[in-house]
Amino acid sequence: MQILAFPDYCAQAERLACRLGAPFGLIELHRFPDGESLVRLPSMLLDHVIVCRSLDRPNDKLVELMLFARTARELGAKRVTLVAPYLCYMRQDIANRPGEAVSQRIVGQWLAELFDDVLTVDPHLHRISHLQQAIPLANAVCLSAAGAIGDFLGKRFDDAILLGPDIESEQWVSGIAAQIGFDYAVADKIRRGDREVEITLPDKVFKDKPVVIIDDMASTGRTLARTIGLLQNAGASTVYAAITHPLFCGDAEAHIRAAGVKEIWSTDSIEHPTSCIWLDSLLSDAVRSIL
Amino acid sequence: MQILAFPDYCAQAERLACRLGAPFGLIELHRFPDGESLVRLPSMLLDHVIVCRSLDRPNDKLVELMLFARTARELGAKRVTLVAPYLCYMRQDIANRPGEAVSQRIVGQWLAELFDDVLTVDPHLHRISHLQQAIPLANAVCLSAAGAIGDFLGKRFDDAILLGPDIESEQWVSGIAAQIGFDYAVADKIRRGDREVEITLPDKVFKDKPVVIIDDMASTGRTLARTIGLLQNAGASTVYAAITHPLFCGDAEAHIRAAGVKEIWSTDSIEHPTSCIWLDSLLSDAVRSIL
């Protein structure tokens, strides 16, 4: 097998290749002034090609992935695996109004046509419980960064309260808490639009305690910023945030920092200055398991 | 049949629907802060749906077209036709270096999987002579704006020299010239990169004559600007430009205007302040012909 990466996921893919002892190649990408993309693969491909790229800000990347996958087949690759630590379009899983495209299913189906395997980390699934319901492949593999985040926090803190942003995060946050023996709680979240959320803290004493908010993604950052503010009001001694996917759209990071967070840590699923929790060990185990 | 349009091609599609006496519907489009798109179709679809959108700055639009086409099928459309006056990815028709994705073929194949018919205007084909070689559909229809441009120029001028930018434009420009009885010539163009071109004017007397440069697209505008400058040096009395597709990437239009063009006219294939040559008559005839 051979690890290939688009330039935006190059450093992480090289670490993965290194762990697997597999050859690494960079995919060349050029965007023309008119918005079209030119994708160039290494001309020598092995039978099994693993392409690595997270799908934040996804539309350009999806078209480029299609150009990649179909060219890889033409150049003789027999098996093409996608490692997309951040997967896109996983939130639109029903038509909220008649006529809406259910993009989770359509993009999932498309990825299943292009790739033989899809590996991802902490996808934001709401109403489905298995990634295969979105991506109809036997090898649609859903990994969790919980272990890596737990390891990281366990080395930093003797004790802290872990706080999940909503009821859906309970299983995930309780797992991390159990792993390192910390206390945890989950807040209550109601979304009122792209950027508006209403948060209620759980009935717990945060006064004079360090709290780590744990979330699978920071997109507009409104949820995180609001929760940080509420924890400040509740007297928490220090507030930190640990997140899997640092999307940070627009002014999200500034918003979160202005709310008074002491530190933000994220995984390297998306390259960002806060990325300090590496996923190469998790991903290399997963790649080995599908071979 | 029913005409649907994305918001960026709404006015033109309404004119087309009006000419065809067909019901018109607008596709709702929302782009989330994280770069994902939400597409919503009218919930009542007829058996034959014609979706209209030009594919300049294409990657977002291609993903949205896929969301549209697959949802239209789910909602019961039996035939889905794409009218894309400007079609994307038609220029990368060979691998210039080993390993390059041949995007013309890959995107063409993809459009053929999504749609039953594809209608376009003056696609920039180099090494293939038929659109079906790129889009394997019996109804991959290639229209020309030459007639509409000729009508427009014939009403504006008693006489002018029509100038094509390169040898590939000769057939097209000579056709317009014959239609309105004007003289014509073609320049010689060598491309040296995305933004660098070298132009040589034909051996012809331009002194004190009005010249209309005719081109199928203005992308970075470098070809047009350079040609305008050469015509000024050759003593042309006035220089105009008539183009099918006003892409105008970045500072292209400013560049062209700074070169000393008196007026720029373009078709409405892409909505732009220079769009004054309407394609609704051409498109409505073509739609009738595939029914």
The three-class DSSP label of residue B272 is coil
Q: What are phi and psi of B211, to 5 degrees?
A: -125, 135
Question: Which residue among A88, A102, A219 sits closest to B33, beta carbon to beta carbon?
Answer: A219
- For residue A205, give how far its alpha carbon lies from the nearest alpha carbon of chain B (Å): 34
Domain check: are B201 and B103 in the same one? no
pLDDT digits (tens, 9 = 90+) for A85-96: 999 999 999 999
DSSP structure class, residue A100: B
DSSP structure class, residue A53: -
Q: Does B273 map to a domain?
A: no
pLDDT of residue A126: 82
Per DSSP, helices labelled H in chain B are 10-20, 58-74, 103-114, 146-156, 170-180, 222-233, 252-258, 280-290
Quickly tell me which residue has 């003797």 as its tokens. A158
Q: Does B89 map to a domain?
A: yes
**Binary contact (B219, A110; C-beta < 8 A):** no
Domain check: are B28 and B84 in the same one? yes
Quickly tell me which residue has 């690595």 as its tokens. A52
pLDDT of residue A112: 98
Q: Which residues of B touch A71 (CB under 8 A)?
A: 99-102, 106
Domain check: are A173 and A65 in the same one? no
Domain check: are A180 and A116 in the same one? no
pLDDT digits (tens, 9 = 90+) for A236-287: 999 999 999 999 999 999 999 999 999 999 999 999 999 999 999 999 999 9
Domain check: are B164 and B99 in the same one? no
**Binary contact (B32, A194; C-beta < 8 A):** yes
For residue A195, pLDDT over 80 is answered with no
For residue A132, pLDDT over 90 is answered with yes
Number of domains in chain A: 2
pTM comes to 0.95
Active site residue B209: no
DSSP string, B67-82: HHHHHHHHTT-SEEEE
Domain check: are B122 and B236 in the same one? no
B20 vs B4, B24, B42, B122, CA distance in Å? 13, 10, 19, 22
Rounded to 5, what percent of chain A is helix, strand, coil?
35, 25, 40
Domain check: are B156 and B231 in the same one? yes
Q: What are phi and psi of B110, to 5 degrees?
A: -65, -45
**Binary contact (B103, A220; C-beta < 8 A):** no
Q: Does A212 map to a domain?
A: yes
The answer to whether A277 and A145 have CB atoms below 8 angstroms apart is yes
Query: Cα–Cα distance between A195 and B160 in angstroms, integer?
Result: 56
pLDDT digits (tens, 9 = 90+) for B57-116: 999 999 999 999 999 999 999 999 999 999 999 999 999 999 999 999 999 999 999 999
The three-class DSSP label of residue A212 is strand
**Binary contact (A99, B43; C-beta < 8 A):** yes
More confident call, A56 vs B43: A56
Q: Does B110 map to a domain?
A: yes
Q: What are the counts of helices (DSSP H) followed by strands (DSSP E) for chain A?
A: 9, 16
Question: Which residue among B33, B43, B89 sits closest to A195, beta carbon to beta carbon?
Answer: B33
pLDDT digits (tens, 9 = 90+) for A198-251: 999 999 999 999 999 999 999 999 999 999 999 999 999 999 999 999 999 999
CATH assignment of the domain containing B39: 3.40.50.2020
In B, minimum Cα distance to A66 occurs at: B106
Q: Which residues of B touch A43 (CB under 8 A)?
A: 98-99
With a pLDDT cut of 70, the percent of chain B lying above it is: 100
Q: Does A273 map to a domain?
A: no
Q: Does A14 map to a domain?
A: yes
Domain check: are B49 and B157 in the same one? no
The per-residue b/e assignment along A172-186, b for 16 or more CB within 10 angstroms, e otherwise, is bbbebbeebebebbb
* B136–chain A Cβ distance below 8 A for any pair: no
pLDDT of residue A129: 86
* A129–chain B Cβ distance below 8 A for any pair: no
Range of the domain at A82: 2-144+278-290
The answer to whether A238 and A264 have CB atoms below 8 angstroms apart is no
For residue B271, pLDDT over 80 is answered with yes
Strands A197-200 and A188-191: antiparallel
Please tell me which residue in A78, A155, A189, A207 is annotated as part of the active site.
A189
